[in-house]
Structure formats: C-alpha cells, structure tokens
C-alpha cells in the first residue's frame, strides 16, 4: 500500500520576492520558518492562502488550490496575519462558530467578549484573533508571528493551545517566527529562508 499524500503540498511556488519553494507538511506536523525581515516569509504564507497571485501550486489532501473555491480553500488553509483586523464594534460579533478553546487557556475572561474592540490591548487582539481562526476548524494553520506582541507567559499559553489543536485535529502548521527557542519548542522541522529559498536546519525534534 502506498503512503497517503502529505496533508499540504507546495510545489514550485514563486513570487517576485521568493521561490521556488517546494514543501510537504504532514497531518499533525508543525514546521517553523525563520529569516530576516523582508525575506518573503509573510509573502509565502499569503501565497499558500491564495491571497496573492503566485506561480506554482498548493494542494490540500491532493486537491489543487486552483480547483478549489477560494473561500473554501481559505477556510481550510487558515492564515493568521501578524496584525489582526476587526470589522464590527464588539468582540463577540466576530465569533459565530463558537469558541474552539476555553478562553481561560489563553488567560482571557468571558467578559472580554462584551468589550468593544477599540478597548483591547494588542496582546488581547492577537490571542483573540488566534481563537477566531481556530473557530473555523482549519486543517492547515499558517501562523505569521503569532506571539509577536505577547509576554513570555502568554507566549507559552499560545504555543500550548496551538500544539493541542494540531495534535487533536491532526492539523498541519507552518509557523513563521523570529524566536529560535520557539522553533525548538513547537516544530518538528525548521527552515531558514536563504535567497528566497527554504533551507532545512538541523533536525531538532520534539518528543
């Protein structure tokens, strides 16, 4: 019997700032991508989410992105941008699919749901944006520096919540980070962007 295809396949993906990038991510696997600012990490995530025109192809469970309706693709392949955006006055109005994880796991209280978005701190916004994304139950998570605005305690809480989601739902995760230690903590494989291409770093495995 042949091995099932990886959950997410990226084939020869290119943008002016990077590429070609080819990468397979299995179900339940997390990979971390490092690289200096402006090296194209965010653009790679945006291209995988099909938010920018690009060459090459991404496949989810063998189904090509360009053959999948864009809104369906982006529901399954969920991007968490570095800055969250909110379009309605109240926090709760952005959550229609229920809460994926108890708020307490991210050190938030239920009262925050009744708050106006304008009164949230950047750290609260970042954690709520993660919950909003997870509420979609995406099969692939594309995380663009999800802990950039957080203190060490909340960083660890976010890492734990994402790790649990990945294991329970066997999701594939691509995590862009600046923090080497974080890569060791959360990822099974680590890559560095060098001259617009992915270069594997020493295989440091989490138990």
Partner 1 sequence: MITLGVADLAVAALLVVSLALLSLRLRTGLGGQILLGAARTAIQLSLIGLVLKALFANAHLHWVALMSLIMLLIAGREVMVRQERRFTGWWGYAVGTFSMFLSSFAVTVFALIVVLGNTPWYAPQYAIPLLGMLLGNTMNGIAIAMDRLTNAAWEQRAVIEARLALGHSWDAAVAEMRRQAIRSGMIPIINAMAAAGVVSLPGMMTGQILAGAAPVDAVKYQIMIMFLIVVGTGLGTLAAVTIGAKHLFDGRQRLCLERLRKS
Could you list the residues that contact partner 1 (CB under 8 A)?
Answer: 49-53, 66, 70-72, 74-76, 78-81, 83-87, 132-133, 136
Helix and strand element counts for the chain (H, E): 5, 10
Q: How far apart are the first and last CA of the chain?
A: 28
Closest to partner 1 by CB, 88 or 194:
88
Closest to partner 1 by CB, 30 or 65:
65
Closest to partner 1 by CB, 122 or 199:
122
- Minimum Å gap between C-beta 207 and partner 1 is 32
- Minimum Å gap between C-beta 113 and partner 1 is 17
* Residue 83 and residue 91 in contact, taking contact as beta carbons nearer than 8 Å: no
Closest to partner 1 by CB, 65 or 161:
65
The interaxial angle of helices 122-134 and 152-168, nearest 10 deg, is: 0
- Minimum Å gap between C-beta 20 and partner 1 is 20
* Residue 45 and residue 15 in contact, taking contact as beta carbons nearer than 8 Å: no
- Minimum Å gap between C-beta 31 and partner 1 is 19
* Residue 174 and residue 143 in contact, taking contact as beta carbons nearer than 8 Å: yes
């Amino acid at each position: 019997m042949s091995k099932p295809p990886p959950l997410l396949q990226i084939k020869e993906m290119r943008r002016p700032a990077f590429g070609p990038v080819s990468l397979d991510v299995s179900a339940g696997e997390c990979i971390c991508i490092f690289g200096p600012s402006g090296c194209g990490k965010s653009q790679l995530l945006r291209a995988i989410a099909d938010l920018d025109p690009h060459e090459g192809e991404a496949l989810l469970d063998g189904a090509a992105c360009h053959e999948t309706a864009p809104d369906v693709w982006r529901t399954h392949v969920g991007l968490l941008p570095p800055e969250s955006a909110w379009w309605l006055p109240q926090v709760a109005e952005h959550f229609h699919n229920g809460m994926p994880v108890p708020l307490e796991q991210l050190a938030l209280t239920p009262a925050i749901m009744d708050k106006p978005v304008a009164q949230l701190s950047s750290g609260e916004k970042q954690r709520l944006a993660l919950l909003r994304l997870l509420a979609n139950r995406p099969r692939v998570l594309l995380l663009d520096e999800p802990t950039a605005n957080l203190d060490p305690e909340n960083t660890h809480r976010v890492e734990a919540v994402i790790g649990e989601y990945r294991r329970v739902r066997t999701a594939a995760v691509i995590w862009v980070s600046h923090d080497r230690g974080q890569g060791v903590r959360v990822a099974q494989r680590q890559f560095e962007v060098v001259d617009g291409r992915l270069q594997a770093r020493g295989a440091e495995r989490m138990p």
